Structure formats: structure tokens, C-alpha cells
Structure 1
Amino acid sequence: MSVADGGRQWPDEVSVENARATLLQLLARAGVPSDDARQLIGLLEAGALALAHEELSGDSVRPGSTPGDKGEPYESGRLDGARDVLEELGALAERTLVQAVGAEGEQGAAAERPRARRMEVERARVAVTPLYLSFTAVSELDPEVTDEVLAAVLGTMSPRQRAGYAGRLTEFAADHRARLERMFAGYGPDSAITMHGRYSLLHSATSIAVLERLAAAPRELREEWDAVELPPAWLDGLTTAWDAPA
């Protein structure tokens, strides 16, 4: 069944649960562990609620946003009601996110930075690849350690922070676009420096993810880097390319 609202038909609770169960079964057939699949679905649900909250937080809570003039008492009541609904919508988005990834803890505590799961690594890969390709071309020299590098990057964050990492990466790339363009032009796949091991990470999409963490959490990144025994020269080379004068 579905719920009718002004002539529209909305999926009811049973239909929503059916869709969720179907998606879980399809993901299981594709080899996605059930815990990862449930977290991914939970992030989608929390994100949909958060985006709805953001959209409705605009005109709906501004005085005079209702057509016509029905008087101050009506307007005041409407605004109070809209704010109450938005507050509950925000709380629902928060509860859904907590169910998916857990409550946020103190950053830096080992218990709050568990080892990255396969699905989290894949989400990071999906986020960073198009950003990288907006600056340079695919490299034939891309080191075959993408998962290890991304796991080290994600190891600097709590699950809650990982949930919003795609947005953080996009913001970082936008804020530093000119600098990234110069870096890849001077040291990336299309530059004269193509075989130097020190700059190998410039041939990987993970370079943008590593740079963002070098700026945001350098100590934690180096700890994770050493833990998975990645070449220290890669970090040094990336730092040299990033700091090169314009």
C-alpha cells in the first residue's frame, strides 16, 4: 500500500522496507558484506534527510515567505510550526546517521578511528578519481597501492568524518584549484618528470586525498603511513611538488 497526500501516492513503511531488503539482497549477490551494505543505505537515508533539511531551511522559515497577507499572528504561528518541523527533521537526520556510522567521538582516540572498511575505501576512490581527472590524465605509472594509500588516509578520520569525506575532498580541490593545476603540470603524468619514484604518487588519483590529509591531519597521516609501510619518499615528493614556487 501507499499513503495518499493531495492526490500523490507515497511509498508506505512496508514498501520502503521491501525496497531496502531488495537492495540488500542485490548487494549481497554482488559480494558486498551486509554490514557495509546497511551502512551505505543508512548514509543515503541520512543524506536525503539532511539535504531536505537544508533545502527547507531557506524560504520556509523566513518571514513573509507565504503568499498573501494573513496577519502577524498567522505568520508567527506558521514560522514557529516550520521551525519545529525542521528541528525534528534535523534530529531525524542525525539519528539516522548515528545508526549508520555511530556517534562522533573525540578525534584522535584510537577507538574512534577504526580500520577502514572495504566500502569506505571504495567510496573514497569514487570521490577522488573524477577530481584527479579534472586536473590531469590517467597515468600508466599509477602505483598499484590505491587501497593501501586510501586506507591510510581514512585511518586519520572517524567513521563520521569518513561519511562526509567526499564533500571535504571536493571543497579542498575547489579551494586550491590553481595550485593543484600548477602541481600536476609540473610533476604529473603529462610533465617532463615521468619516471622519478619520488613523485610516483602524482601518477595516482590518491594524491589529492593525501594532500588534503597533509593539510588537515599531517601527524595522523604519517602515523598511518608508517603503519601500512608505504614509502616515506612518496610523501616527501608530494610535499615538494605541492610547495614548489609558482
Structure 2
Amino acid sequence: MHPADEDPQRLDPASLHNARTTIVQLLGRAGVPAGSAEELIGLVEAGVLAAAHREAEDSAGTAPAGKGELYESGWLDGARALTDELGSIAARALARAVGAGPAEDSPGAWPPVRRMEVERAKVAVTPLYLSFSTVSDLDPEVSEQVLTAVLGTMSPRQRAGYAGRLTRFAADHRPHLTRLYERYGPGSAITLHGRYSLLHSPTSLAVLERLAASPSALREEWDAAELPPSWLDGLTSSWEPSA
């Protein structure tokens, strides 16, 4: 019997490659470039490895009972070595997916924001925004420019994990955000034109998160993108009371 047929719960490399290629081709027919499709697949793979690492860590701290102290010590050492290696594999997979290199901690060396990173940010921010407000009428092109400035304040790894960061931000500040959108959002008396107009867009949530986390870097990216200063000033003045 061929070794690959002995364990039906494991896929051989050829079958994994076939599945990956199929996904890339199907996404290509939908208009997604091959590079962007590979990036998305790589992020999913890195996420699966990270989840496996967390699960292994949770179960690695307890050795089988009744085996003796020496056995327990060896079992724990082996489990620790295994989970450490799994964590390293997950980290390398993430680095490959986002193209992170040794200059990760140097903002000046970060690569430009890519189209796929903007698309991922849109997917992350829109449902969170809709939990506070209603559909935006702001120009989609302007929204992309805003998200590009927001993502420019982050490293490739941080951009990859931005959906989680936004989710935590929305949960941590939900009462204040609710009041903010009720007062200045689409359902309020504030019009789409003016210093608070960005609160009519899902991108406002992303900007607010950056104002809380990295205001100086955001201001720098905002000015470089030549976005309306009044938009950022309006969000800053409306957000500061929550600090």
C-alpha cells in the first residue's frame, strides 16, 4: 500500500498543491490576481498554524497521570519543544504571507500599502461600522485613500492582524462609539459636508482606532495623502473626551 493511503486523515503534498492551485484559479476567474489570492491563502494557512499552536500550548502543560516524576518531566520538556517549534513554523508562515522581512520594526522600510490590504480592511471595518450606524454615502475612492493612510501607520504583520485589532477596539469603546455615531453619524443632524463628515463613512472607525493607538503616525500619513485636514480634526475633537 502507498504510504499516502495508510492515513486518510493526512493529505499528501500533491493533493495540497492541487487544492491551492484550484483556489487560485477560481479566484482568478473572479478577477482576483494570482498574487493576491496566494496572499489570502497564506494568511489562512498562517492562521490555522497559529490556532494549532495555541491549542497545543493549552494541552501541553499536563502530562499523563500515573507515569512517575521522571516520565512527567520528559513529557513536559518534549511537549514544550514541540509547541515552540510549532509557534516558529506559524511565525514563518505569517512572514511569508505578508512579505515581512528583517526591517519589520523600521517604519521607513515598510512596503507600500497593497490593494489586497485595503480590501481586507474594508471587509473588516464595514460590519463593525454598521453595528453603530447605517450605510455610508461617502465616495468609495475617498474611502480607499483614507484606509491607505490608516494602514500606512502599520507594519505588514500589523496590517494582517488589523481585523482583530478593530474588533477589540469596537468592543472596548462600544458605549462611547455608540454615542459618537448617534450624535454625528448618518442618522444625526450633521450633514455629509463638514468637519464631522467622515463619521458618515465606515472608514471613520479605522481612523478612530488609529487616533487612539498612533495619532502622530496617522497625522503624518494623512498629510502625505493630502486628505482634508478638517476631517481628521473633527474626529480628533469628537474622540478626545473619551480618553
* TM-score, structure 2 normalization: 0.90
Q: Which of 213, 219, 226 is the aligned partner of 1:222? A: 219
- Alpha-carbon deviation of 1:208? 0.8
- Alpha-carbon deviation of 1:244? 4.7
Structure 1 residues 69 and 78, CA gap change in structure 2 (3 angstroms):
same
Asked whether the equivalents of residues 143 and 203 of structure 1 are also in contact (C-alpha less than 8 Å), the reply is no
Letter in 1 for 2:50: A
Secondary structure (helix, strand or coil) at the match of 1:157 reads coil
Runs of 5+ consecutive residues of structure 1 not aligned to the other structure: none
Q: Does 1:118 align with 2:76?
A: no
Map of 1:167 onto structure 2: 164
- Alpha-carbon deviation of 1:126? 0.5
| Aligned length in residues | 239
Map of 1:14 onto structure 2: 14
Letter in 1 for 2:203: T
Asked whether the equivalents of residues 104 and 160 of structure 1 are also in contact (C-alpha less than 8 Å), the reply is no
Q: Does 1:57 align with 2:53?
A: no
Letter in 1 for 2:117: E
Trace 1:187-226 onto structure 2 (pairs within 5 A): 187-226=184-223
* Alpha-carbon distance in structure 1 between the residues aligned to 2:102 and 2:123: 24
Structure 1 residues 216 and 48, CA gap change in structure 2 (3 angstroms):
same
Structure 1 residues 98 and 245, CA gap change in structure 2 (3 angstroms):
closer
* Alpha-carbon distance in structure 2 between the residues aligned to 1:204 and 1:35: 29
* Alpha-carbon distance in structure 1 between the residues aligned to 2:192 and 2:12: 58
Map of 1:177 onto structure 2: 174
Structure 1 residues 235 and 3, CA gap change in structure 2 (3 angstroms):
farther
Asked whether the equivalents of residues 3 and 9 of structure 1 are also in contact (C-alpha less than 8 Å), the reply is no
* TM-score, structure 1 normalization: 0.89
Asked whether the equivalents of residues 149 and 206 of structure 1 are also in contact (C-alpha less than 8 Å), the reply is yes
Q: Percent identity among equivalent residues?
A: 62
Q: Does 1:153 align with 2:157?
A: no
Letter in 2 for 1:181: T
- Alpha-carbon deviation of 1:236? 1.0
Q: Residue deviations 1:38-92, cap 9 Å, x none? A: 221111111110111011211x22235x3x4222222222212211111111111
Map of 1:47 onto structure 2: 47
Asked whether the equivalents of residues 50 and 87 of structure 2 are also in contact (C-alpha less than 8 Å), the reply is yes
Structure 1 residues 185 and 244, CA gap change in structure 2 (3 angstroms):
farther
Q: Does 1:142 align with 2:141?
A: no
| Moved beyond 6 Å, runs of 4+ | none
Asked whether the equivalents of residues 186 and 199 of structure 2 are also in contact (C-alpha less than 8 Å), the reply is yes
Secondary structure (helix, strand or coil) at the match of 1:9 reads coil
* Alpha-carbon distance in structure 1 between the residues aligned to 2:187 and 2:102: 41
Q: Residue deviations 1:204-245, cap 9 Å, x none? A: 111110011112222221222122221111111111222357
Map of 2:35 onto structure 1: 35
Map of 1:23 onto structure 2: 23
Asked whether the equivalents of residues 137 and 189 of structure 1 are also in contact (C-alpha less than 8 Å), the reply is yes
Secondary structure (helix, strand or coil) at the match of 2:195 reads helix
Map of 1:78 onto structure 2: 75
Asked whether the equivalents of residues 190 and 197 of structure 2 are also in contact (C-alpha less than 8 Å), the reply is no
